Amino acid sequence: MTDLSSQERALLDQAAAAPMLAQTQAWAAINSGSRNLDGLARMASALADTFSALPGDMRLIDAEPVESVSPDGRVQSITHGRHLHLSVRADAPLRLLLTGHMDTVFPADHPFQAQRWLEPGILNGPGVADMKGGIAVMLAALNAIETSQAATRIGYDVVINSDEEVGSGSSAALLRSAASGKFAAFTYEPSALPDGTLAGARAGSGNFSIIVTGRSAHAGRNPDEGRNALIAAADLALRLKAGSGAGFSCNPAKIDGGGPNNVVPDHAILRVNFRPRTPPDVAAVRALIDQCMADVARDHDVRLHLHGGFGRPPKAMDAKARALFGLVRQCGADLGLSISWRDTGGVCDGNNIAACGVPVVDTMGVRGGSIHSDAEFLLTDSLPERAQLSALALWRIAHGQFDPKHIKEGMTA
């Protein structure tokens, strides 16, 4: 470690001493799949108990209702778990936002539930990297800050939502509210690569369900009188895919519908995802959808209804974001870590925070890999490493080494 003051060294020792591995393993033992409301309730309670060591106003907030289209075309409301919101020193002139998520992609009936050591220092388990290890890192850094004189200089909000893995629809308003007026933000997704590379710019993401209504008929006696919704949905999928290009990708993911072989199907739903790179690409996607829907409705004599939207706006690397990344990189260098970043098509709550005009580094969590699979692993030596990185970055922000108000577009970090 180089260029560190005695106060910074004491801060780093405090961060590294936190019981992060034990916390990660205890939390990973709780199944908190996005749709497991009982498990999410247990997880929220466990997090509230642990984060209560921090000062401030702690609340578990009921989720906003989120609409979804069922396979039969009905629009229905889906219930989500409560979100944790902690506000510390709300009247501080310099306030930050730290976010994470308590949900995982593994439901209660998924076979991947247990943890095991692949080798010393490499823990395999559901959510150990994404992101229960990251939550432990966040807490260790904040506890260290609270024991230092930097605590008098900053305030912060912590949001840990229950629905990030399914798009953060029920926590979107909470994230926007918490981001309002913040200096900067850190989100504790795992690093983009096991070597610690961070995610830079991110594409946006939009999920759509397009309901196609045709006309039923007997497949043998009078098929020409029918209007095949399944064929229309398939044609729409092909047109949307063909229309994607350099600015955005398109993934037609699923078609619901159909029925007996002797009936022309009058109902189908196309599920499709788009990943636009810039705000103009979002507009291009919407124009493509409108045009293709109109063409398919005309050519197949069917009715179409669009449901969904862009829950994750594109996240650019503007001057403020580059400056914040530069601060994190310098903190890493002073800790003997090489910090770099790369653009990615993956999305997270960092997209939503950046859309509020707040610079964010959204991969401040652990090093690991194979997330969203039963091979997910955590490199346990990254727990103290990343806790120290966060604590040092927070310390230096508190001491005036990052000020987005004085950063203009075109400047470099």
Backbone torsions φ then ψ of 65, nearest 5 degrees: -65, 145
Residue 263 belongs to some domain of the structure: yes
Domain of 278: which CATH number?
3.30.70.360
387 within a domain of the structure (yes/no): yes
Question: Which of 286, 311, 336 is at the close of a domain?
Answer: 311
Cα gap 163→40, rounded to integer Å: 10
Q: 344 with 202: CB under 8 angstroms?
A: yes
97, part of any domain: yes
Cα(307)–Cα(77) distance, rounded to whole angstroms? 13
Q: What's the confidence (pLDDT) of residue 407?
A: 75
Q: Are 117 and 187 in the same domain?
A: yes
Q: What is the mean pLDDT of the chain?
A: 96
Same domain, yes or no: 338 and 255: no
Same domain, 336 and 290: no
Closest CA to 50 of 80, 28, 19, 81: 19
Identify whether 298 is part of a domain.
yes
pLDDT in tens, 49-82: 999 999 999 999 999 999 999 999 999 999 999 9
| 412 part of a folded domain | no
The residues near 198 (Cβ < 8 Å, ≥ 6 apart) are: 191, 192, 325, 328, 339, 340, 341, 342, 361, 363, 364
> What is the percentage of the chain residues whose pLDDT exceeds 70?
98
Its pTM stands at: 0.95
Residue where a domain stops, chosen among 260, 292, 311: 311
Nearest to 361 by CA among 314, 408, 329: 329
pLDDT at 13 over 50: yes
Q: What is the pLDDT of residues 372-397, one digit of tens each?
A: 999 999 999 999 999 999 999 999 99
Q: Is the pLDDT of residue 412 over 60?
A: no
In this structure, are 80 and 135 located in the same domain? Answer: yes
Residue 393 belongs to domain spanning: 6-203+314-406
Based on the structure, what is the number of domains in the chain?
Answer: 2
Half-sphere exposure of 118 (CA within 13 A, CB side): 14
Q: 280 and 357 in one domain?
A: no
**Residue-level pLDDT at 107:** 98
Whether residue 73 is found in the same domain as residue 143: yes
In a domain, 182, yes or no: yes
278 and 183 assigned to the same domain: no
Domain boundary among 253, 280, 311: 311
178 and 151 in one domain? yes
At residue 413 the predicted structure's pLDDT band, cuts being 50, 70 and 90, is very low
**Residues 197, 247 within the same domain:** no
108, pLDDT greater than 80: yes
Query: Residue 225: phi, psi to the nearest 5?
Result: -80, -15
The answer to whether residues 258 and 152 belong to one domain is: no
Q: What is the pLDDT of residues 320-347, one digit of tens each?
A: 999 999 999 999 999 999 999 999 999 9
Tokens in use for 153?
Answer: 């200089």
Is the confidence at residue 150, as pLDDT, over 50? Answer: yes
Shared-domain flag, residues 46 and 151? yes
Mean pLDDT of 125-148: 98
Look at residue 384 and give its three-state secondary structure: helix
| pLDDT above 50 (res 30) | yes
pLDDT at 411: 46
Report the CATH number that the domain containing residue 148 is assigned in CATH.
Answer: 3.40.630.10
Query: Are 173 and 282 within one domain?
Result: no
The reported pLDDT for the residue numbered 402 is 95
What is residue 2's predicted lDDT score, i.e. its pLDDT? Answer: 66
pLDDT of 410: 52
The secondary structure of 137-158 as a DSSP string is: HHHHHHHHHHTSGGGGT-EEEE
Q: Which of 213, 247, 53, 207 is nearest to 143 (CA)?
A: 53
The pLDDT score that the predictor gives to residue 406 is 73
Residue 95 counted as domain residue: yes
pLDDT at 293: 98
Each residue's pLDDT tens digit, 158-197 = 999 999 999 999 999 999 999 999 999 999 999 999 999 9
